[in-house]
Structure 1
Amino acid sequence: MKLGMLTACLPGWDLDRIAKWAAGAGYEALEVACWPSTGGRDFEASHLPVADFGPEQAERTQELMARHRLSISALAYYENNLHPDPLRRAEIHAHLRASIDAAQALGTGLVGTFVGRDPGRSVRENQAEAETVFPALVEYAGERGVRLIVENCVMEGWHPDGYPGNLAYSPELWEWMFGLGLYLNWDPSHLTWIGIDPVETIAPYAGRILHAQAKDVELDPRARQRYGFFGKTAKNDPWETGWWRYRIPGLGQVDWAKVVDRLHEHGFDGTLSVEHEDPVWGGTPGRVTRGLEIAHRTLRPHVIETPEEA
């Protein structure tokens, strides 16, 4: 197992600077953000020009990683592959294919994305649509030696009423999406706030967890008594729930000793990648990197080499 970080938390830094900092802080791998440069949500970042990625860029990126003794665990393009606007959906699929091409050029076998959802349609209608959309994307990736991993983020901000906007939030839906050829970028923070014990989900699905994200969550049960499970209704920010917030590993409710131990027990030998979305340790690069240092200090004692690597 390697300890890595998702680069999206430092959108203003280029990949060279991130790699130098990450290696110096003790990280071993980068999950590289590759959204288009226009972005969308405020934390999206473009650290690889995948839409125009040729042999020169691939060679330079590989040399950068080798110089800092880092690996690329995955490319990250988390977007709504079931977007209701057909033109926007086509743009998303084109960029996802470009991300797959870049992963092939780099020898990186994983690209992260979302299933997504059309918020105007039911879950079953979206599932039926996904069953027409994903086979071609999975085949495109497979032909290039790449597998698509889906983060189990609820993406409630994509739904006007705060309901799930990404159909990969529960084990029931994981079993369905595995049938489409998709794998899991497993994140315990989302499971925790929707009432699922993340530790209990590792053993049954270990064979489909190819990558894992380290993000914590802080719950406020008293606030939940006011807003209910689905959070605030009157809000300016669609991502504001009112009773929970993401935190750096070690500052929330997730039991990282148990999580990492269970991953080790069931043979996980991929990357545990810190996804920094902590509002306390955010806002400036200095605070973000401080948060990443806290995460590293929390996780480093638990993330150890497997016997095969030692």
Structure 2
Amino acid sequence: MKLGFLTACLPGRSLAEIVGWAATNGFEALEVAAWPALGDRPFTASHIDVDDLDRGGAERILALFDRPGLTLSSLAFYDNNLHPDPDERAAINRHVQACIDAAALLGCPTVGTFLGRDPGKPVAENLREAEKVFPPLVDRAGERGVKLIIENCVMEGWHPDGYPGNLAYSPELWEWMFSLGLYLNYDPSHLVWMGIDPVAALRPYVDRVAHAQAKDIELFPEKRTRYGWPGRAVERPDAWDVGWWRYRVPGLGQVDWRRLVDTLYEGGFDGVLSVEHEDPVWGGTEERIETGLRVAHRTLRPLIVA
């Protein structure tokens, strides 16, 4: 197992700068943000332009990683592949295809994305839509030696009432998506606030985890008593502010990382555990983000066999 991080937390830095910092600070891998260049959504970045990547560009990127001995673990483009607007959905699906092609050029084993959801339709109808959208993407990935991985993020901010906006939030849905040939980019933090034990949920499915993310979470039960599970309702100017929990870097929340890493090892996982830094306490400036990444490294490094 190797320890890495998702580059989206440093959107203003070049890939070369991030590679240098990661190697200097003891990380072994990077999950590289590959969103389209346009847009200003939070926690996204464009550190590899997959649309214009050719063999020469791929060789330059690989040389960048080879010098310090880092692993390029995944290309990250997390967006709504079931978007209700057909043109937007088609554009997102095309970008996933471009990420798959780029991953093949780079020898990168995985491409990460979301299932997503049309919030105007019930879950059952969305699943039938996904059964049309994803098989061509899975086939394209398989032909190029790449695994398409889905993060189990709830994406509650995509739904007008704070309900799940990405239909990969529970083991029941994992089993369904595995039947489509998809793999899991496992993140324990999302399970905690949904009331699911992240270790018990993981144990039967380690063989379908092609990549894992390390993000922690801090719960405030007294606030949940006021708002309920979906979060703030009367006043919620920020769709992502549920009001009773927040993400933290590993070691500052309630995930039991010792048990979780042990479960990954016991199940035979030998991939990358990638820190996804969305901690508001250690955010805001690049210096604070770096500190947050160091806290995560200090927490996880002793648990991972070098």
Q: TM-score if structure 1 supplies the norm length?
A: 0.97
Q: CA deviation at 1:42?
A: 1.8
Structure 2 CA distance for aligned equivalents of residues 109 and 99 of structure 1: 11
**Fraction of identical pairs, as percent:** 65
- Give the count of matched residue pairs: 305
Provide the residue aligned with 2:80 in structure 1. 80
Q: Which amino acid aligns with 2:198?
A: P
Provide the residue aligned with 1:259 in structure 2. 260
Provide the residue aligned with 2:169 in structure 1. 169
Q: CA deviation at 1:64?
A: 0.2
Q: CA deviation at 1:169?
A: 0.2
Q: CA deviation at 1:265?
A: 1.1
User: Per-residue CA shift, 1:92-134, capped at 9, x if unaligned?
Assistant: 0111111001100000110000000000000000001001111
Alignment of 1:229-240 (within 5 A): 229-233=229-233, 234-240=235-241
Structure 2 CA distance for aligned equivalents of residues 123 and 88 of structure 1: 20
User: Per-residue CA shift, 1:220-273, capped at 9, x if unaligned?
Assistant: 000111101110012111000100000000000001111111111111100000
**Residue 23 (str. 1) matches residue 23 (str. 2):** yes
Q: CA deviation at 1:40?
A: 4.4
Provide the residue aligned with 2:210 in structure 1. 210
Q: CA deviation at 1:39?
A: 2.9
Provide the residue aligned with 1:304 in structure 2. 305
- Any conservation in 2 of the 1:39–1:45 contact (CA below 8 Å)? no
Q: CA deviation at 1:68?
A: 1.7
Q: Stretches of 4+ moved more than 2 A in 1?
A: none
Provide the residue aligned with 1:295 in structure 2. 296
Alignment of 1:131-142 (within 5 A): 131-142=131-142
The secondary structure found in structure 2 opposite 1:181 is coil
Structure 2 CA distance for aligned equivalents of residues 248 and 181 of structure 1: 31
- Any conservation in 2 of the 1:65–1:71 contact (CA below 8 Å)? yes
The secondary structure found in structure 1 opposite 2:27 is coil
Backbone CA RMSD of aligned residues: 0.7
Structure 1 CA distance for aligned equivalents of residues 292 and 195 of structure 2: 26
Q: CA deviation at 1:206?
A: 1.1
Provide the residue aligned with 1:180 in structure 2. 180
Provide the residue aligned with 2:33 in structure 1. 33
**Residue 62 (str. 1) matches residue 56 (str. 2):** no
Q: CA deviation at 1:202?
A: 2.2
Provide the residue aligned with 1:114 in structure 2. 114
Q: TM-score if structure 2 supplies the norm length?
A: 0.99
Structure 1 CA distance for aligned equivalents of residues 265 and 128 of structure 2: 36
User: Per-residue CA shift, 1:138-188, capped at 9, x if unaligned?
Assistant: 011111111100000000000000000000000000000001110000000
Structure 1 CA distance for aligned equivalents of residues 96 and 260 of structure 2: 30
